[in-house]
Amino acid sequence: QLIGGRQYYKTCFLKQDGTISDINGFNDINLNSVGMPRGNYYIAVRHRNHLSVMTSNPFVVFPVNDPEVLDFTSPEILLGKTNALKALQKRENNSIIYGMIAGDVNADGIIDEDDFLSIWDYRDFMGYIRPEDIRLNGIITTRDYNVSWNNRGRITLVP
């Protein structure tokens, strides 16, 4: 179910190139290890300082002989389509590369003044442990603030 159904979680790494791996670095994410019974599921990706994204339709997760690869950079499969993502750049064939929308520091699903103020309060802080490090480079600067500011007013479409 989209609303009110049981939720299952799997901790993974979201890599800089947009791929997701499990915590051991393997690119195949095994969802049946979290106790999911067979069935169709909406798949969501949450990140510590980005707006969440979710598939617009359920996918067969377990068991399946030929697992499906979900491309969350493709707006066609996502709830909200292009409104759920940010255009990042064009490929040589003129197709667009999309990514998750950065700047939701407090993880409330809205990029707003609370996020900007938190980034400003932690500017010049060094270390990867703070959600205010939007660019994930280990230091919080006005560039992190700018990323959040440029995405102001954006909200997650994930219920």
Q: For residue 63, name the pLDDT band (cuts at 50, 70, 90).
A: low
Question: Across residues 88-110, what is the average pLDDT?
Answer: 94
17 against 47, higher pLDDT: 47
Q: Using the predicted structure, report yes or no on whether residue 1 has a pLDDT greater than 80.
A: no
Entry pTM = 0.88
Radius of gyration of the chain (CA): 17
Q: What is the pLDDT of residue 64?
A: 64
Domain segments of the chain: what residues?
12-97, 108-150
Query: Model confidence over 19-54: pLDDT tens digits?
Result: 888 888 887 777 766 777 778 889 999 999 999 999
Nearest to 154, CA basis, from 115, 97, 121, 125:
115
- Strands 86-90 and 59-62 turn out to be unpaired
CA dist., res. 103 & res. 118, Å (int): 11
68 against 65, higher pLDDT: 68
